Structure 1
Amino acid sequence: MSTTSRDFSGKVVLITGSSSGIGAVAAVEFAKAGAQVVITGRNADNLSEVAKEVLNASPTGLKPLEVVADVSKDDDCRRLVDSTIKQFNRLDVLVNNAGFGLGTSIYDSDILDKYQQIMDTNVRAVINLSHLCVEHLEKTKGNIINISSVCGLKPASTFSIYCISKSALDMFTKCLALELGPKGIRVNSVNPGAVRTNFLQVVGMKKDQIDAAYESWGPKHPVGRVGESIDIANAILFLASSESSFVTGINFLTDGGSINANFSGKVVLITGSGSGIGAVTAVEFAKAGAHVVVTDRNADNLSEVAKEVLNASPTGLKPLEVVADVSKDDDCRRLVDSTIKQFNRLDVLVNNAGFGLYSSIYDSDILDKYQKIMDTNVRAVINLSHLCVEHLEKTKGNIINISSFCGIKPASIFSIYCISKSALDMFTKCLALELGPKGIRVNSVNPGAVRTNFLQVVGMKKDQIDAAYEAMTTQYPIGRVGESIDIANAILFLASSESSFVTGINFLTDGGSINASFS
């Protein structure tokens, strides 16, 4: 992974609701990464304190711009944006973090007043600020990150108005990603779960109630704790960085379910690493200091990748090469045994090996195709996870399964591949619940169309492949299909400590295509 992936030098980042909590921590983190930061909130004293932290965090002593403002007021929003452009003459990142919540019951006599307050801050203000900023973001090919909530995805009793505001924000994120993708602007949301901020105090809970709530929630999270503001800030910086340049229109669930990650001393096993996504991922882990285990059925390809991995390692760490077919049980056991024999530990298992074929319900050999696809895409993942879990438990490691947007979106004459990836996505979620208490995180990455040899493997000819990629390029909101590095970046982020509060998610990395209507 690039050592400059979190370098925001020369970038201007505007963060609403940054006088405390998630917004304040995100402002400090952006400052550490070299950004010029604009902070805003309603409380001038709090804002002043955060400004001091941001200034101290900046490696070059960049002073943040402080703007006292209430984003639910149109005049304040316009003044905020105008002040930013007047001061810096550009805008690269808009983080719509300001939020407001109240407990609500349908029996409340003032429910419509509560509705107005919540929606004005959580939805209307985001639309307004996005509208005011878009002309400036278009010039910088910038991006928008909306801070939503797990409540946008999961209903909560006596909290209905807050939930619908976040659900609306999630849909706005997806729609805006489609509209602005062709302009070079990415739009994503982060959906935190329970995070230690002043939010519960704001919604009316007392200190003893808040302490009891966090204490009770912690053990219920698979990772064994509630979130901290830094967990969410890490996700924000990742989505704002070039490392996520193929990610738009997603709701990134950060609920316990380094971009410049340092994997020194870590051991990473990557299946299907003889080419494509697996090979690039191996190189990126090597750059980050990891001991890498590469494996594939093709010995010649594996040897070439091993050379790249060795050259990429800052300390000249030689990868372990294991020729193996993960659909064979004996090969899986030999792969894991060789890894432990060589390194005596395992920190990350990347189940990347995959297989696909066209399949129609009319095919006479459909059950043969079913067996081949499911053996590699599902059974092998279960087997390797089973064999590795005792070692991952010792290191508090994690598993990353490479799925596909085909696990979410059906495709004609591709049914068996689609069901294999859908099964893999559910296995990811179930395993995250089972292994969370053991300190092991489990996530999947769901790529869209990526330039690899996959289409060739499923039987397409070169002219068909070229035509397919060309057609998809114009249809993807982000204006291009993916590259292997896009997926590798997502994998390294999920494997790093920066995503320590992320487990059980299907991380869609598809250039916004899942929400696009293809003709």
Structure 2
Amino acid sequence: MATGTRYAGKVVVVTGGGRGIGAGIVRAFVDSGAQVVICDKEESGGRALERELPGTLFILSDVTKEADMRVLVSETLRQFGRLDCVVNNAGYHPPPQWPEETSLQGFRQLLEVNLLGMYTLTKLALPHLRKSKGNIINISSLVGAIGQLQAVTYVATKGAVTAMTKALALDESRHGVRVNCISPGNIWTPLWQELAAAAPDPKAEIKEGTLAQPLGRMGQPAEVAAAAMFLASEASFCTGIELLVTGGAELGYGRKASPGTPVKVLPDAC
């Protein structure tokens, strides 16, 4: 289908839509003819996209606040009269922490952003998605399946997102609502840049992130956005799937022991 008509007449809500992967997804849906509601708790990026892209509406809102999510859904319906797709993208990756450095309060806050925000908006949107036979796309992460060093709380939230996606897909199939998730690997976003900048050696951190993919590069937000467009518009027989957008980072064997880990070499391996 030609660009500009692939999702014409549809209404999409994208959380965390003001920058990074979210902004890429907003652009892809607009390019495909959809009207897009940008949800973000930071005003600058969302307002800039609203000014730049016709057919968008920015609503300043925080996914951790149920009242904000109620307004987001009601305003979407007031402005556009329908809802066809929710992209639950808002999320946060804390700086690296060993388990003993984490806190219960920090974990709770991360759960609020990465998991419970998705749950809240999804629950409020479902009655309207059922009417349109729409779909939900949750942004999870590859590390929810394979783990990540110094990221136990983040990994736990993303593993839960993937599991919730599968459970929702089962529940909503009777209403004709599809629920899928995308699990990106290393995507070059402002958040990735911020995490790298906070590392002791930012250049080395970026190099490691780049070398983690057999394709030899990080992904771009537009590549995650293309996967979202596929799930929303063409993947009509897909529900409950986890679509990996990772450059092959999960493939093959590789060095996994970190410096300082005791290593036992078998006698006959010498």
Match of 2:130 among 393, 396, 408: 393
1:294 correspondence with 2:32: no
User: Superposed, which structure 2 residues align to 1:65-144 within 5 Å?
Assistant: none
Match of 1:409 among 135, 143, 146: 146
The residue aligned with 1:263 is 7
- Give me the whole-angstrom Cα distance separating, in 1, the residues matched to 2:144 and 2:32: 30
1:507 correspondence with 2:251: no
Match of 1:276 among 20, 25, 35: 20
- Give me the whole-angstrom Cα distance separating, in 1, the residues matched to 2:225 and 2:66: 27
- CA change 1:456–1:327 in 2 (3 A) is farther
The residue aligned with 1:362 is 100
The residue aligned with 1:461 is 198
Unaligned stretches of 5+ residues in structure 2: 256-270
The residue aligned with 1:193 is none
Q: How many residues align?
A: 254
Q: State the Cα deviation string for residues 300-330 of structure 1 (Å, max 9, x = none).
A: 11111223322xxxxxx3x111011111111
The residue aligned with 1:65 is none
TM-score of the superposition, structure 2-length normalised? 0.88
The residue aligned with 2:207 is 470
- Give me the whole-angstrom Cα distance separating, in 2, the residues matched to 1:518 and 1:308: 44
Letter of the aligned partner of 1:505 in structure 2? Answer: I
Letter of the aligned partner of 1:482 in structure 2? Answer: G
CA displacement at 1:261 relative to structure 2: 6.2
- Give me the whole-angstrom Cα distance separating, in 1, the residues matched to 2:156 and 2:186: 17
Letter of the aligned partner of 1:502 in structure 2? Answer: C
Letter of the aligned partner of 1:398 in structure 2? Answer: N
The answer (yes or no) to whether the contact 2:196–2:202 under 8 Å persists in 1 is no
- Give me the whole-angstrom Cα distance separating, in 2, the residues matched to 1:459 and 1:471: 10
The answer (yes or no) to whether the contact 1:282–1:309 under 8 Å persists in 2 is no
The answer (yes or no) to whether the contact 2:196–2:206 under 8 Å persists in 1 is no
The answer (yes or no) to whether the contact 1:356–1:457 under 8 Å persists in 2 is no
User: Superposed, which structure 2 residues align to 1:204-243 within 5 Å?
Assistant: none
CA displacement at 1:463 relative to structure 2: 7.7
- Give me the whole-angstrom Cα distance separating, in 2, the residues matched to 1:362 and 1:297: 30
- Give me the whole-angstrom Cα distance separating, in 2, the residues matched to 1:370 and 1:338: 31
The residue aligned with 1:492 is 229
The answer (yes or no) to whether the contact 2:130–2:177 under 8 Å persists in 1 is yes
Cα RMSD of the aligned pairs, angstroms, is 1.9
The answer (yes or no) to whether the contact 2:199–2:205 under 8 Å persists in 1 is no
The residue aligned with 2:262 is none
- CA change 1:2–1:412 in 2 (3 A) is farther
The residue aligned with 2:111 is 374
The answer (yes or no) to whether the contact 1:432–1:441 under 8 Å persists in 2 is yes
The residue aligned with 2:62 is 325
- Give me the whole-angstrom Cα distance separating, in 2, the residues matched to 1:465 and 1:385: 37
The answer (yes or no) to whether the contact 2:134–2:178 under 8 Å persists in 1 is yes
CA displacement at 1:457 relative to structure 2: 4.9
Unaligned stretches of 5+ residues in structure 1: 4-259, 311-316
- Give me the whole-angstrom Cα distance separating, in 1, the residues matched to 2:110 and 2:194: 12
The answer (yes or no) to whether the contact 1:475–1:518 under 8 Å persists in 2 is no
SS in 2 for 1:424: helix
SS in 2 for 1:399: strand
- CA change 1:419–1:275 in 2 (3 A) is same
SS in 1 for 2:244: strand
Letter of the aligned partner of 1:419 in structure 2? Answer: A
- Give me the whole-angstrom Cα distance separating, in 2, the residues matched to 1:327 and 1:400: 18
Q: State the Cα deviation string for residues 330-367 of structure 1 (Å, max 9, x = none).
A: 1111111111111111000000000121332212x511
- Give me the whole-angstrom Cα distance separating, in 1, the residues matched to 2:149 and 2:104: 17
Larger radius of gyration: 1
- Give me the whole-angstrom Cα distance separating, in 2, the residues matched to 1:354 and 1:441: 22
- Give me the whole-angstrom Cα distance separating, in 2, the residues matched to 1:382 and 1:474: 34
